Amino acid sequence: MSEQPATQPRDADKRPTIYEVARLAGVSHQTVSRFLRKDPTMRPDTVRRVSHAVEKLDYRPNLAARSMRTRRTNRIAVILPETTSFVPTRLLSGAAAAAHDAGYLVDVVGLEGDAAARAERIGALLQPANVDGILSFTPLAENLERLAPSGPRVPIVVDGEYDDNMRARALLADAKAADEIVGHLADLGHRTFVHVAGPKTFASALNRRTEYEASVARRGLVSHAVVEGDWSTGSGWKAGREVIAGSPATAVFAANDRVAFGVIRGLQSVGVDVPGRVSVFGWDDDELGRYFQPPLSTVRVNRESQGRAAFQRLLSLLHGKQPAAPMDTAGLNQLIFRDSTAPPPTV
């Protein structure tokens, strides 16, 4: 009689099971489960073996089966206000990546109306049969408890970083980097500045303007003008041609990169060299800025980390733990120096 192989080859059309991962890694299926839950108490050698087995077998957890077994949906709802064309892609990608790493699927839900109206519409999501948790990047009413007066209610984290019109506020509106921008330009030798601002209805624009004015005053520098803008390239173009080109200013802090692009093109259109005559600094690290002429100095904002931190707060609640405090601004904004800034021209 011929010998039979110890194990039969797995059908290529069948998904690998947690038991196959366990056999390949030389551990129990409970250990694999602990690995998938990212148990921090696991030994590094065990983590490496299980990780290798998961990768080799291309194992993916069966979320539907897990849901039936644990009575959890493995789904997270992310709430945004609906009446806007703006979607905070980088913030959402950070939150979604962290959720996927933890084994959750993400549903992005747009809810119309103000905070009270959104609270009314969110009632259905508050039931554990629908989602395991809710992460809202827009304000919700304080009295959500009355929408689910009896029985369990899913954990909620309201980061509240955007208002009803997706205008940034709180951490997203932090403007401390404006002081660093002014300081850097002053270190290069600039003494006379212009700020092309964003709309005053946006906390982020107002904060950048306020920080700019305070920084200029504190250093004994000169603010030749603060030009009212609207976040658009057009407002920067107009400011460059009509205000900055004929002024003694040698440095411009634009409220965002689009405004900065307009400033540069407006100055260039009337023969003003950037950065030979005027340096320009933006904010947001728009991809176009890397390829603009000249490449734009700007502020890179780590929105992905913000999204991850927000989800981690929700994950703590899902695990019955006290969530960490909201992310602070340390390391959130990073100045990126490119060719649009240089020392001022010598007299």
pTM confidence score: 0.64
pLDDT in tens, 314-337: 888 888 887 776 666 666 788 999
Question: Bridge partners of 82?
Answer: none
8 A C-beta contact, residue 132 and residue 154: yes
DSSP-assigned beta bridge partners for residue 280: 252
In terms of phi and psi (left: phi > 0; alpha: psi -120 to 50; beta: otherwise), the region of 222 is: beta
Residues 6+ apart with CB under 8 A from 194: 223, 224, 225, 226, 227, 239, 243, 244, 247, 249, 251, 252, 253
Residue 118 CA to residue 297 CA, distance in Å, equals 39
* Residue 160, C-beta contacts closer than 8 angstroms, at least 6 positions apart: 136, 137, 138, 139, 140, 169, 170
* pLDDT at residue 202, rounded to an integer: 81
CATH of the domain spanning 71-166: 3.40.50.2300
The DSSP H or E segment spanning 95 is helix 89-101
Higher pLDDT, 300 or 341: 341
Residues 19-47, mean pLDDT to the nearest whole number: 84
Which residues, 6 or more positions from 113, have their beta carbon under 8 angstroms from its beta carbon? Answer: 120, 121, 164
* Architecture category of domain 172-301 in CATH: 3-Layer(aba) Sandwich (3.40)
Domains 71-166 and 172-301 share a fold: yes
Q: Which residue has the tokens 């009632």?
A: 123
Determine the Cα–Cα distance for residues 260 and 255; give it in Å rounded to an integer.
8
* Residues 155-203 pLDDT 10s: 888 775 555 554 455 555 577 889 999 999 999 999 999 999 998 888 7
**In this structure, are residues 207 and 256 in contact, taking their beta carbons and an 8 Å threshold?**
no
State how far the Cα of 243 lies from the Cα of 200, in Å rounded to an integer: 20
Instruction: List the chain domain ranges.
Output: 18-60, 71-166, 172-301
The pLDDT of 119-143, averaged and rounded, is: 68
- Name the token pair of 41: 């108490």
| Per-residue model confidence as pLDDT tens digits over 252-270 | 999 999 999 999 999 999 9
Q: Residue 191 has which token pair? A: 């003494």
CA angle 280, 286, 289 (to 5 degrees): 50
CATH class of the domain comprising 18-60: mainly alpha
Is the CB of residue 118 less than 8 Å from the CB of residue 138? yes
